């Protein structure tokens, strides 16, 4: 069994949802085994960023990105599926911590302003 820690972004995302939903989102993470991490299969995936190995776990409507450090799984971020930030994170495009925290709806509002004719 692994110890699970959460980044500030992960905690902020979890605080947006109810307690029961929080437990449903986190449950698959807390049940991961050594063998699942060694050979990831859906809903678990693995990719590299530089020298880091990052795991992506699909949990309902959310995607949990985490790193392993010995017996600790540290969640880097929890993102809602089908959002711009989830797409950018998993496709390895450069993105800052601040951009991850931003709501994707602001991006769509910006695009709408570009298409409007004044």
Summarize pLDDT for 31-74 with one digit per residue, the tens.
999 999 999 999 999 988 778 898 999 999 999 999 999 999 99
The dihedrals phi and psi of 15, each to the nearest 5 degrees, come to -65, -20
Spatial contact of 51 and 86, defined as CB atoms under 8 Å apart = no
Q: Which domain holds residue 13?
A: 3-115
Mean pLDDT score of the chain: 82
The count of structural domains within the chain is 1
pLDDT of residue 81: 86
CA distance 70 to 54: 14
CATH number assigned to the domain comprising residue 37? 3.30.2310.20
pLDDT of residue 83: 79
The dihedrals phi and psi of 114, each to the nearest 5 degrees, come to -75, -30
Looking at the DSSP assignment, which residues form a beta bridge with residue 75?
Answer: 6, 66
Looking at the DSSP assignment, which residues form a beta bridge with residue 47?
Answer: 54
Q: How many CB atoms lie within 10 A of CB 30?
A: 12
Mean predicted confidence (pLDDT) in 21-31: 95
DSSP 64-110: EEEEEETTEEEEEEEEETT-HHHHHHHTT----HHHHHS-HHHHHHH
């Amino acid at each position: 069994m692994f110890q699970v820690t959460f980044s500030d972004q992960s905690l902020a995302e979890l605080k947006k949802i109810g307690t029961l939903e929080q437990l449903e989102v986190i449950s698959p993470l807390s049940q991961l085994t050594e063998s699942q991490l060694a050979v990831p299969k859906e809903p678990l995936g693995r990719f590299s960023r530089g020298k880091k190995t990052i795991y992506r776990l699909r949990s309902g409507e959310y995607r949990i990105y985490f790193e392993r450090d010995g017996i600790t799984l540290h969640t880097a971020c929890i993102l809602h599926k089908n959002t711009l930030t989830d797409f950018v994170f998993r496709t390895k495009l450069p993105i800052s911590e601040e951009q991850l925290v931003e709501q994707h709806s602001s991006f769509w509002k910006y695009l709408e302003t570009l298409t409007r004719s004044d």
